C-alpha cells in the first residue's frame, strides 16, 4: 500500500493561505478593481455588501485559527494572535490598495509571499 501523505502542519496551511492571497492579488488585480468600483459606487447592493463582510469575517477567523494552531506547534511567533492577524491583513489590504492606485508599479514590485510570511516567523 502506498504511504499516505502527511497532513500539512498548521504552519504549512498558514503559509499556503497567505501565499494564495498574495498571488491572487498579483494575478487577478482586475477582480479587485471591479470590486472596488462596486463598493465605492455610492450605494452598493446590500447583498454584495453582506457577502463581502461575511467572507472577510470568515477569512479573519480562519487566519486567526491557523495562527493560533501554528503558535501551538512552534511554527509561528508567539505574539498576540489578534495583532498578527491585523499585521497580515494590513499587508494584504495595502497590496490591494497599491495595486488599485498604481497597477504598473504593483506588477513590478508586488512582494513574494515569503516576505509577508516573515512577520510570522518564531
Residues 34-74 have pLDDT tens digits of 888 877 777 877 888 888 889 999 999 999 999 999 999 99
Residue 41 belongs to a domain: no
Give the Cβ contact number of residue 91 at 10 Å.
18
Residue 4 to residue 102: CA distance in whole angstroms: 46
Q: How many domains does the chain have?
A: 1
Is 114 domain-assigned? yes
- With 0.85 as the threshold, say if the pTM is over it: yes
pLDDT band at 95 (very low <50, low <70, confident <90, very high): very high
Give the whole-number percent of the chain exceeding pLDDT 70: 97
Q: 30 is in which domain, residue-wise?
A: 10-35+56-120
When the pLDDT of each residue in the chain is averaged and rounded to a whole number, the result is 92
- For the cut 60, the answer to whether the pLDDT of residue 1 exceeds it is no
The span from the CA of 90 to the CA of 93, in Å, is 5
Amino acid at each position: 500500500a502506498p504511504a499516505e501523505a502527511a497532513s500539512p502542519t498548521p504552519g504549512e496551511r498558514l503559509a499556503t493561505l497567505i501565499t494564495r492571497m498574495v498571488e491572487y492579488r498579483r494575478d487577478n488585480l482586475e477582480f479587485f478593481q471591479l470590486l472596488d468600483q462596486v463598493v465605492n459606487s455610492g450605494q452598493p447592493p446590500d447583498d454584495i455588501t453582506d457577502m463581502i463582510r461575511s467572507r472577510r469575517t470568515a477569512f479573519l477567523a480562519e487566519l486567526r485559527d491557523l495562527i493560533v494552531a501554528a503558535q501551538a506547534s512552534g511554527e509561528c511567533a508567539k505574539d498576540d494572535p489578534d495583532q498578527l492577524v491585523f499585521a497580515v491583513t494590513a499587508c494584504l489590504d495595502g497590496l490591494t490598495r497599491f495595486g488599485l492606485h498604481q497597477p504598473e508599479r504593483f506588477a513590478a514590485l508586488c512582494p513574494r509571499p515569503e516576505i509577508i510570511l516573515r512577520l510570522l516567523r518564531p
